[in-house]
Structure 1
Amino acid sequence: MITIAITGASGLIGGALSRALAARGDRVIALVRRAPRGPSERSWDPARGVLEPSAVGDVDVIVNLAGAGVGDKRWSTEHKTEILRSRVGATHTVVRAIISSGRPIRLVNGSAVGFYGDRGEELLTEASPAGTGFLAEVVRAWEGAADEWVTAGGSVAFARTGLVMTRDGGALAPLVRATRLGAGGPLGSGRQFWPVISLRDEVRALVHLIDRPDITGPVNLVGLEPPRQREVATAVARMLHRPALLPAPRLGLRLVLGQFADEILASQRVLPERLLQSGFTHEDASLQAVLTRALG
Structure 2
Amino acid sequence: MDLIELLQYAFFRNALLGSLFASIACGIMGTYIVTKRLVFISGGITHASFGGIGIGLFFGISPIISAAIFSILSALGIEWLSKRNDVREDSAIAVFWTFGMAIGIIFSFLAPGFTPDLSAFLFGNILTITTGDIIFLAVISAIVTIFFIMFFHPIVYISFDREFARSQRMPVVFFEYLMMVFIALTIVACLRMIGIVLAISLLTLPQITANIFTHSYKNMIWLSIAIGYIGCLGGLLMSYTLQVPSGASIIFFSILIYVICKLGKNIYTVKSRN
- Could you state the TM-score of these two structures normalised by the residue count of structure 1? 0.29
Which is richer in helix? 2
The structure showing larger relative contact order (alpha-carbon pairs under 8 Å, at least 6 residues apart) is 2
